[in-house]
Amino acid sequence: MEVDRVLLDDPSATRKVFEVHPEVCFWGLNGGKPMRYRKSKLEGVRERIATLSVWQPEANDLLQSVLRETRRQDVQADDVLDALVAHVTGRAVAAELRRLTGVPSEDDKGLPMQMLFRDQQSALLPAGS
């Protein structure tokens, strides 16, 4: 609701604020392949940390730090992974970003619904490709 309010008050913000879905973002960073394991399982955490570490080398240190400093009833490992993948996606340059669908649809308030992900393939191309 708060984000909608900002977007409705300042329509130019729709060019700067986008939606992400963690598993779509992991899929994009993983070369268009879904993660093999659930993020709530140790194998899934390891798989996602390995993927994130390509883009955010200190991803595991950040995860461990948050887990040490918070209670599990407040923050789970998968919450931190979701935040990290959103951060990695948000740091991408425009050429590395793709929309999940070609044309954004609009919600009932007329706001564009644009789910973005970072395309691992385009991000790894040499400059000028």
Extents of the domains making up the chain: 15-120
Per-residue pLDDT at 43 exceeds 50: yes
What is the reported pLDDT for 121?
Answer: 72
More confident residue, 110 or 42: 42
Question: Could you write out the DSSP letters of every residue in 17-85?
Answer: --B--HHHHHHHHTTS---SS-TTSHHHHHHHHHHHHHH-TTHHHHHHHHHHHS-TTT--HHHHHHHHH
Per-residue pLDDT at 127 exceeds 50: no
Q: What is the rounded CA–CA span in Å between residue 129 and residue 122?
A: 9
Per-residue pLDDT at 104 exceeds 90: no
What is the reported pLDDT for 122?
Answer: 63
Q: In the structure encoding, which two tokens stand for residue 112, read together? A: 């564009």
